[in-house]
């Protein structure tokens, strides 16, 4: 019986039907607990009464559960309601490959990328002893972000033969589905069946390789390899005729032609032995000899596929030889070049990275990952980013691995969509990643452990455990040249006599961490790196800031000489095997900015106050008369106040530590701010009168900080306050009373949702009835509303991503930075009425913020003006300078290094 909208299957609510097949009907459903949509697959009633078919259905659930891979649609659970069985599956948005092919063949590069991802998923299944047996375009989903998901392992079989009953269901193409495992029985969609499958013989993983070849051929040509008016005709063609190779586009690379010929050999003994070989060939960078397929002759001379295979072998040897060659002798002249990058992101751990061969570099900008070839004048975008995280190069300099949306991704430079490698565990925030020559990716997660995963994708496993009593997290992993040892740095939770968080450098030998003595850097983002030539590079801040280098003994894991200054003022660092060095000179705190009023159309109205170095995080007082902000005119960041009417400024803090994140108290007469401890994101909250009188007073004890955008905020009545506390990488929004002595009392979680949202910013509404907060719990960063102070309700503001909620006190509007990508980023407002349920009204986009110096913003009470910062001197505020030094070690030796 079909399920209607609103029907519940366990905790899931049916939304709408999605389709039907021989193994049941599929519906879209809503999971209210996690706020996500899923697919519900219902077993037909007659199947539920057949024990053998029921066993097959449950076997499908077990098979799917064993195949956790980014290129395989997963399973969330199995439900039984009134005797009926249901599979709860991952809902994959997008279109099937079959639907895409209705519009014609794919471009060659796109076809190769899709085939590579299919091969990667099927390879994972084969490694788990599972054969799909019904691989076809209708069982491949293309998602909007370019990922490929292989669906419907319902016809799959495990490595062991397992008899099951007759299945008369149909598929998009004629599907003969009798006994799926016994000899003498035919199974699978006819157009994609292997010859042995068509004859009803026993099959193994090589039948998937045949089907894979059929799918790839159809992607390139827009036509099936074999066709026929009836199933019998079709089977006859499969058994007796050869593919028409002339249909392949002339631009088809020779290696792909050779691969297709191997996949579509009728004798399974001569067919490609492993789908992993296909994945490797499709992922290989194009060679000059591989630019187009050779003439496809089947008579006379050398067969085309033999010639193509020879070209492949020569190209592979060339690539292998290139990878085996060590770095250059570095005897050339020292050269320095000033490069430009627009909207460059260089906050740790997102920093520009040179490729290992030194031919190009990658950087994050405008929510995209860019690559600049040094023989080209302009960069090119290779991937969209919602939340830039750490990234790294492949050993052959042809691919990048990066973190985004709690996933690890890889993308090639030859074109094509990124493919998912694995989910990033725990907090989902990637803070370090490195790709070894042995094909293993090691990555570190914020406030968590070090993991490893095959570069081709799979389930990550723990590489280095973390001791929660003495360690915080790992930073800056680097594989050593042999690919067996990993160099890492981590921060210890213990502190020295000055309160500085300690740091340790180690070599991980696969079993333990071996400590490296010495003081190499003194900040969380010192980015230590071991070069292939045996030097330790790191950053220092303080009296002599910049990039430093020391000779290093890889065999004994120790520095063999004193460090020397390599690049004064460098705030990022990246080295290549050819002796090149890339760094950003200066930092965000070195840029001189000023405050500026902006109208609702995004037009600058007027500047106010004086310019300051590192000016940012400006906050309007509740009465609108003053502005609190931070600036680094001194040795570090301090809190200042500007009186808007008189245009006079007062510096409030003068301490040796960073004083950041000012927030106004309810009366507009005092400010709360964070005093950060040296070398970390741990700090206590202090309060001070806005005129500087009375000195500092403790407001809240030290805690780990999630973000400097917001840490503490008082309710309008001054009786309570919210604070965001970092609990091992999770931002917990908490509420506490303001005690009679003016300090913040004990804190309790404000939001009752389970799991609790991971909050990075929060604002209480001017009337004290709502709280707006920023969270990434649904896979992208969004703004939500909840009631205050009980935290009830959960209303998403917009649907395309959102950041930094800010209230207009009198207009009834919530302003926020809307969007999650490079083509959708701007200021928007939402009308809010706390008396309504839900309290959200219409959302109005105001203006695009791309290219604007958006360190933060605030809004006036009437909502007519916004407060931004902008660099002094005009011009394009988004352009940054990078310095490339060639043969930097030659200069280093001249300065006294070894």
Give me the active site residues, please: 134
Beta bridge partners of 72: 69, 150
Strands 399-404 and 407-412: antiparallel
- Rounded Cα distance, 672 and 695, in Å: 12
Q: What helix, strand, coil percent values describe the chain, rounded to 5?
A: 15, 40, 45
Read off φ and ψ for residue 57, nearest 5 degrees: -60, -45
- Rounded Cα distance, 522 and 351, in Å: 18
* Tokens coding 219: 């992607």
* Tokens coding 895: 């300065």
Read off φ and ψ for residue 197, nearest 5 degrees: -70, -40
Question: How many DSSP H helices and E strands does the chain contain?
Answer: 11, 61
Q: Find out whether 468 and 414 touch, Cβ atoms under 8 Å.
A: no
Q: Of 199, 197, 305, which is closest to residue 254 (Cα–Cα)? A: 305
Identify the residue whose tokens are 């040179």: 354
Beta bridge partners of 461: 452
Q: Find out whether 773 and 783 touch, Cβ atoms under 8 Å.
A: yes
Q: Find out whether 89 and 74 touch, Cβ atoms under 8 Å.
A: yes
Burial of 835 (0-12, 13-18, 19+ CB in 10 A): exposed
Q: Find out whether 227 and 191 touch, Cβ atoms under 8 Å.
A: yes
* Tokens coding 201: 């013989």
* Tokens coding 142: 């293309």
Displacement of CA 506 from its chain's centroid (Å): 27
Strands 368-373 and 360-365: antiparallel
The set of residues, in sequence order, having a beta carbon less than 8 Å from that of 891 and lying 6+ positions away, is 334, 566, 885
Length of the chain: 898
């Amino acid at each position: 019986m079909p399920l209607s909208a609103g029907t519940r299957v366990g905790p899931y609510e049916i939304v709408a039907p999605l389709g039907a097949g021989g193994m049941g009907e599929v519906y879209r459903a809503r999971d209210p607990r996690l706020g996500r949509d899923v697919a519900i697959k219902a077993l037909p009633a007659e199947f539920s009464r057949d024990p053998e078919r029921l066993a097959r259905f449950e076997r499908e659930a077990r098979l799917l559960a064993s195949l956790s891979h980014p290129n395989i649609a997963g399973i969330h659970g199995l439900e039984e309601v009134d005797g009926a069985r249901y599979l709860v599956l991952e809902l994959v948005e997008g279109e099937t490959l079959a639907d895409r092919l209705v519009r014609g063949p794919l471009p060659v590069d796109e076809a190769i990328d899709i085939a590579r991802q299919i091969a990667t998923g099927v390879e994972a299944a084969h490694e788990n002893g599972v054969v799909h047996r019904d691989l076809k375009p209708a069982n491949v989903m293309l998602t909007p972000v370019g990922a490929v998901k292989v669906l419907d392992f319902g016809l799959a079989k495990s490595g062991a033969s397992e008899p099951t009953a007759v299945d008369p269901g149909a598929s998009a193409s004629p599907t003969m589905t009798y006994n799926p495992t016994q000899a003498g029985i035919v199974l699978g969609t006819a157009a994609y069946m292997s010859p042995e499958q068509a004859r009803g013989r026993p099959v193994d993983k090589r039948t998937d390789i045949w089907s894979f070849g059929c799918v790839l051929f159809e992607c390139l040509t827009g036509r099936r390899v074999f066709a026929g008016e009836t199933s019998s005709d079709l089977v006859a063609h499969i058994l007796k005729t050869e593919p028409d190779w002339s249909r392949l586009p002339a631009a088809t690379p020779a290696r792909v032609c050779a691969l297709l010929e191997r996949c579509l050999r009728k004798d399974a003994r001569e067919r490609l032995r492993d789908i992993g070989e296909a994945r490797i060939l499709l992922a290989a960078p194009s060679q000059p000899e591989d630019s187009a397929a050779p003439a496809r002759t089947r008579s006379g001379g050398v067969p085309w596929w033999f010639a193509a295979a020879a070209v492949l072998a020569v190209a592979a040897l060339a690539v292998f030889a290139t990878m085996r060659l060590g770095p250059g002798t570095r005897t050339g002249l020292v050269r320095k070049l000033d490069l430009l990058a627009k909207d460059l992101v260089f906050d740790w751990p997102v920093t520009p990275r040179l490729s290992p061969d030194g031919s190009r570099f990658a950087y994050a900008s405008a929510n995209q990952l860019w690559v600049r070839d040094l023989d080209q004048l302009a960069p090119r975008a290779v991937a969209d980013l919602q939340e830039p995280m750490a990234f790294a190069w492949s050993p052959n300099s042809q691919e990048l691995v990066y973190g985004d949306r709690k996933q690890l991704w890889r993308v090639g430079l030859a074109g094509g969509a990124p493919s998912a490698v694995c989910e990033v565990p725990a907090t989902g925030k990637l803070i370090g990643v490195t790709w070894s020559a042995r094909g293993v990716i090691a990555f570190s997660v914020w406030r968590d452990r070090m993991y490893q995963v095959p570069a081709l994708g799979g389930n990550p496993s723990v590489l280095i455990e973390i001791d929660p009593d003495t360690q915080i997290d790992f930073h800056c992993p680097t594989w050593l040249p042999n690919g067996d040892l990993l160099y890492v740095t981590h921060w210890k939770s213990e502190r020295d006599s000055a309160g500085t968080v300690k740091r340790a450098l180690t070599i991980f030998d696969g079993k333990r961490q071996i400590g490296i003595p010495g003081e190499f850097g003194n900040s969380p983002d010192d980015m230590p790196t071991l070069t292939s030539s045996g030097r330790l590079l790191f950053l220092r801040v303080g009296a002599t800031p910049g990039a430093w280098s020391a000779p290093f003994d890889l065999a004994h894991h120790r520095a063999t000489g004193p460090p020397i200054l390599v690049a004064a003022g460098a705030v990022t660092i990246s080295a290549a095997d050819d002796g090149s060095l890339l760094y950003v000179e200066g930092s965000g705190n070195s840029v001189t900015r000023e405050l500026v009023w902006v109208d609702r159309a995004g037009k600058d109205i007027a500047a106010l106050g004086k310019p300051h170095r590192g000016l940012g995080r400006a906050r309007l007082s509740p009465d609108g008369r003053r502005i609190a902000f931070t600036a680094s005119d001194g040795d570090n960041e301090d809190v200042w106040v500007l009186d808007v009417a008189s245009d006079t400024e007062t510096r409030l803090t003068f301490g040796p530590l960073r004083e950041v994140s000012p927030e106004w108290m309810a009366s507009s007469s005092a400010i709360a701010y964070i005093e950060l401890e040296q070398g970390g994101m741990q700090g206590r909250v202090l309060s001070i009168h806005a005129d500087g009188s009375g000195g500092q007073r403790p407001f809240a004890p030290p805690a780990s900080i999630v973000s400097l955008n917001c840490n503490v905020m008082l309710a309008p009545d001054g009786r309570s306050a919210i604070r965001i506390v970092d609990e091992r990488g999770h931002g917990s929004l908490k509420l506490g009373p303001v005690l009679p002595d003016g300090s913040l009392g004990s804190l309790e979680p404000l939001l009752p949702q389970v799991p609790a949202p991971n909050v990075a910013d929060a604002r209480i509404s001017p009337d004290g009835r709502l709280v707006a907060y920023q969270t990434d719990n649904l896979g992208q960063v969004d703004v939500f509303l909840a009631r205050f102070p009980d935290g009830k309700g959960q209303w998403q503001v917009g649907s395309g991503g959102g950041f930094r909620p800010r209230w207009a006190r009198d207009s009834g509007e919530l302003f926020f930075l809307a969007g999650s990508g490079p083509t959708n980023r701007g200021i928007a407002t939402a009308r809010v009425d706390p008396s309504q349920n839900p309290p959200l009204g219409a959302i109005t986009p105001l203006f695009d913020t791309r290219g604007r110096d958006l360190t933060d913003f605030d809004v006036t009470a009437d909502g007519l003006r916004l407060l931004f910062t902008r660099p002094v001197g005009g011009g394009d505020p988004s352009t940054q300078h990078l310095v490339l030094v060639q043969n930097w070690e030659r200069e280093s030796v001249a300065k006294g290094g070894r």
